[in-house]
A and B are shown apart, each in its own frame.
Chain A
Amino acid sequence: MTQKEFLNIVMPFKDKVFRLAKRLLISTEEAEDATQEILLKLWSNKEKIEEYKNVEAFSMTMTKNFCFDKLKSKQSQNLKIVHSNYEDNSTSLQKQVELNDSVNWVSRIIEELPEQQKMVIQLRDIEEYDFDEIAQMLDMNNTAVRVTLSRARKTIREKLTNTHSYGIK
């Protein structure tokens, strides 16, 4: 397989890999590194790629596992602040107003969700995969995906309602 053929296979979903990695690892730099790592892994196994039925789903599963490993090693090293684009709450009021506030809230709310829910939201609402694909990627069954998704969506809505009506953080 030449480099060009490989790129043709990988290009369509490399952004998706990146976004999933970013969803889990939060920091853009970490996500970039993870994506790079995953693409390189695929490249070094390029002979086997043709055997896989669904390279995209396979890569997403790989991304998930890779990010989990990353998070685990971070935890064992006792580094609690994983993200470098960590936001300080005491930034100037001016800046806070400037940020597109409510959209930012959504990102913060999703950040607080359990990992499983984060991934399902990412894969369904942002990447728009169908349930079967998500189930395959996350190694869950179809119903479990639906339940997780429904829980995540409800949590997001509830928290949004709270911040919207009372301004609670």
Chain B
Amino acid sequence: MVLNNIEELLEKYENGETSLKEEQELKNYFSQETVAPHLEIYKPMFAYFLVNQQEQFTKDVPLIPIAIETKKVFNYKWISVAAVAVLMLGVYLKSTINNDLGTIQDPELAFNEVSKSLEMISKNFNKGTSTISYLEEYDKGASTLGYLNEIEKGTSIIFKKNQ
């Protein structure tokens, strides 16, 4: 009677029509030591299912690293903010330094300073103009080129004749 029931269940089982409860019944039956000989082939299948139910995931999952990772992203954001702050500070400091031109308050001292620097300018200026004298040589050379005009006159006459 029990065997009949099991056979019926097996057929239903193969058609995918058994409920979870009925499947549990089958599993219980096949986990017994002795099973009807013609049903022996089902035994390893159900045994396999039962064994596999026991398998567990034993590896640890490191949940904390993720928290650190999000923290890192957080840091990057603030690094850019800090960079902008440093940049603006730099610009500010530079502009304040440029405002201080080193003005001299005492008029006599200022006069001396100005004449000194003007003297330096004129000295250097004279040095520059002295080198320009070489240009005269160039002029001489250029004046000899005037003879070329004579040649051109000659050729122009020849061309007119040809035409």
Q: When chains A and B are docked, how far (Å) is the Cα of A22 from the Cα of B64?
A: 25
User: Is A69 part of the binding interface, using a Cβ–Cβ cutoff of 8 Å?
Assistant: no
B51 and A103 within 8 A (CB): yes
A153 and B13 within 8 A (CB): yes
Q: When chains A and B are docked, how far (Å) is the Cα of A148 from the Cα of B16?
A: 8
Q: When chains A and B are docked, how far (Å) is the Cα of A125 from the Cα of B23?
A: 8
Choose among B45, B52, B63, B64 the residue that contacts A157 (Cβ–Cβ < 8 A). Answer: B45
- Please judge, given known A-B contacts A32-B57, A106-B44, A156-B45, whether A150 and B20 are in contact too, CB under 8 Å: no
Quote the shortest CB–CB distance from B115 to chain A (angstroms): 76
Q: Which B residue's beta carbon lies closest to that of A131?
A: B16
B16 and A153 within 8 A (CB): yes
A157 and B57 within 8 A (CB): no
Q: When chains A and B are docked, how far (Å) is the Cα of A153 from the Cα of B43?
A: 13
User: Is B14 part of the binding interface, using a Cβ–Cβ cutoff of 8 Å?
Assistant: yes
Q: Which A residue's beta carbon lies closest to that of B46?
A: A125
B48 and A106 within 8 A (CB): yes
- Please judge, given known A-B contacts A125-B23, A126-B52, A153-B16, whether A103 and B41 are in contact too, CB under 8 Å: no
Lowest 7 A-B CB distances belong to which pairs?
A: A18-B57, A150-B16, A102-B44, A106-B48, A146-B16, A149-B16, A39-B61
User: Is B53 part of the binding interface, using a Cβ–Cβ cutoff of 8 Å?
Assistant: yes
Q: When chains A and B are docked, how far (Å) is the Cα of A161 from the Cα of B42?
A: 9
Kindly list chain B residues whose C-beta atoms are within 8 Å of the C-beta of A164: 40-41
B63 and A153 within 8 A (CB): no
Q: Is the interface of B mostly helix, strand, loop or mixed?
A: helix
- Please judge, given known A-B contacts A106-B44, A126-B52, whether A32 and B20 are in contact too, CB under 8 Å: no
24 cross-chain CB contacts under 8 A = A3-B64, A7-B63, A22-B55, A39-B61, A40-B61, A40-B66, A43-B63, A102-B43, A103-B44, A106-B48, A107-B48, A124-B23, A126-B49, A126-B52, A127-B53, A128-B24, A130-B20, A146-B17, A147-B16, A148-B16, A150-B16, A157-B41, A160-B45, A164-B40
A36 and B61 within 8 A (CB): yes
Q: How many residues of A contact B (CB 8 A)?
A: 41
B45 and A35 within 8 A (CB): no
Q: Is the interface of A mostly helix, strand, loop or mixed?
A: helix
A153 and B53 within 8 A (CB): no
User: Is B59 part of the binding interface, using a Cβ–Cβ cutoff of 8 Å?
Assistant: yes
Kindly list chain A residues whose C-beta atoms are within 8 Å of the C-beta of B13: 153
Kindly list chain B residues whose C-beta atoms are within 8 Å of the C-beta of A89: none
Kindly list chain B residues whose C-beta atoms are within 8 Å of the C-beta of A145: 16
B40 and A43 within 8 A (CB): no
A128 and B20 within 8 A (CB): yes
Choose among A14, A40, A102, A125 the residue that contacts B57 (Cβ–Cβ < 8 A). Answer: A14
Kindly list chain B residues whose C-beta atoms are within 8 Å of the C-beta of A44: 66
Choose among B14, B24, B66 the residue that contacts A43 (Cβ–Cβ < 8 A). Answer: B66
Residues in B1-56 with C-beta less than 8 Å from chain A = 13-17, 20, 23-24, 40-45, 47-49, 51-53, 55-56
Choose among B15, B51, B64 the residue that contacts A150 (Cβ–Cβ < 8 A). Answer: B15
- Please judge, given known A-B contacts A150-B16, A157-B41, A161-B41, whether A18 and B23 are in contact too, CB under 8 Å: no
